[in-house]
Structure 1
Amino acid sequence: MPRSLFSYVVCYDSGFAPNPFHGYCTLATCKPGIRKHAQVGDWVVGTGSNARGVRRGRHLVYAMRVTEIISTAEYWNDPRFEKKKANLFYNWVAASGDNIYEPLGQDCWRQLSSYHSHEDGSRRDDHVGRDTGVKRILVSDDFVYFGAEGPQLPTRFHDGGNAQMLCSGRNYRRVRSEPVIGSFESWITSLAKSGFQGKPWDWVKRRG
């Protein structure tokens, strides 16, 4: 099957979506379109927001090659991802946990107190519906996460460049061109970085 590369702007880089901790980069919430269509071997690329006060447009937040896809229920029950269950009262890594949906049967879910619940910890039905509407969790052990400290992508990947790989709007862009995907792989490999490399933008901002 031909590969795809999905790109989008990470509007809220908090360590939650994606969650790059504990040896795996996971996309378990948000971006239902990407989670619905991505397959093992595809790339997901998140770039920084160009909003006022951030100005990280065209800078790499993270890139993950999807190495596994599991269901929301499997994610909850898999011991590998136990540490990704959210705990808002421990530390920032634990608070960023994206393993927040406990299956209760018949498409019913308990939502942990998390970044997708109300401030008082109560359930937010809008997030529950969007997050569990696509019951596919993208998992990668082949990723790099730079957060607020990522490099700017080469101009050939920008809008107007010959590759036109990056999405600059609110949705996402899907690229199926093997030469473009291969060019991106060559560039990301040339960085000689993998795994967690930098703090999320929200952490840096909060620390001033």
Structure 2
Amino acid sequence: MYRYVIDHDKGFAPNPFFNVCTLACCKPVIRKGAEIGDVIVGYGPAKYDLSGKIIYWMMVDEIMSYDDYWEEPEFEKKRPRQGGSLMLNFGDNIYHREPATRKWVQERSFHSDENSLLGGGNLRRDTGSTDRVLLGRDYAYWGAEGPRPPAQFKEFIWAGRGQVYNVDSEDRKEAFIAWLQNQPGRGLINDPTDWSLDKEVRSLLDRKSVTC
């Protein structure tokens, strides 16, 4: 069971829209190591006084390569459309290989930056060690309104950098997962935290539409 803190909760990583929660960018350690059936829990950042609150959880039920994710018709709607709604601005289906050269193509998106154009930056961080996309159809995405685990599960709260996977007791882990799954609500319950708290996010709606 992976736990980590979400520094930027914009609906990009993870992307909780269209009834499938996807982790396609950022967190390469988790994307490389996770297996079917693993549970991922993302906690809120201290900058919004959300430390210890759960932003989302998901159970991994499918793993795809970037190329397969890009080509899958079901996930064309997760390709970014800048200048549209915030949900479309933060599409995470942004990577695929150029057939002739096998070089990575990064579509214009939240992760676009000058270094990525040269093969570095976010492109290198996202693709350098893995090209796996994690998908979960059993998930709950609360944004800033998520619950805090009760004191009996305090060992599963994570507020530090990076991610943690190991647990001291499989029985305790299963009890915590059962608690998660018993929380009311599934799927997209609330908007991403930054949509209301980060003023720069709102400025995206003022940009001209760009077809990716």
TM-score greater than 0.5 by the shorter chain: yes
By how many angstroms is 1:107 displaced?
4.2
Deviations 1:98-117 (A, max 9, x none): 00013214541111111101
Percent identity for Structure 1 against Structure 2: 38
Residue in 2 that maps onto 1:161 = none
Residue in 1 that maps onto 2:76 = 82
**Residue 192 (str. 1) matches residue 184 (str. 2):** yes
Residue in 2 that maps onto 1:129 = 124
Alignment counterpart, residue 135 of structure 2, candidates 136, 139, 142 = 139
Q: How does 1:93-132 map to 2 (within 5 A)?
A: 93-105=87-99, 106-118=101-113, 125-132=120-127
Deviations 1:111-158 (A, max 9, x none): 111110139x96773111111121110001010000111111222333
By how many angstroms is 1:166 displaced?
2.6
Q: Is the 8 A contact 2:113 2:121 kept in 1?
A: no
Q: Is the 8 A contact 2:149 2:157 kept in 1?
A: no
**Residue 37 (str. 1) matches residue 33 (str. 2):** yes
Corresponding residue SS for 1:82: helix
**Residue 166 (str. 1) matches residue 162 (str. 2):** no
Q: Which has the higher helix share?
A: 2
CA distance in 2, matches of 1:127, 1:27: 15
By how many angstroms is 1:24 displaced?
0.4
CA distance in 1, matches of 2:189, 2:65: 28
CA distance in 1, matches of 2:190, 2:119: 30
Q: Is the 8 A contact 1:113 1:122 kept in 2?
A: no
**Relative to structure 2, which stretch is displaced further, 42-51 or 173-182?**
173-182
CA distance in 2, matches of 1:145, 1:45: 10
Q: How does 1:140-155 map to 2 (within 5 A)?
A: 140-155=136-151
CA distance in 2, matches of 1:17, 1:155: 28
Corresponding residue SS for 2:173: helix
Deviations 1:58-109 (A, max 9, x none): 0010000000001111110111110000111111000110000132145411
Which sections of structure 1, spanning at least 5 residues, go unmatched?
159-163
By how many angstroms is 1:180 displaced?
2.4
Q: Is the 8 A contact 1:111 1:123 kept in 2?
A: no
**Residue 178 (str. 1) matches residue 170 (str. 2):** yes
> TM-score normalised to the size of structure 1?
0.88
Which sections of structure 2, spanning at least 5 residues, go unmatched?
203-212
Corresponding residue SS for 2:161: coil
**Residue 202 (str. 1) matches residue 197 (str. 2):** no
CA distance in 1, matches of 2:191, 2:178: 24
Residue in 2 that maps onto 1:61 = 55
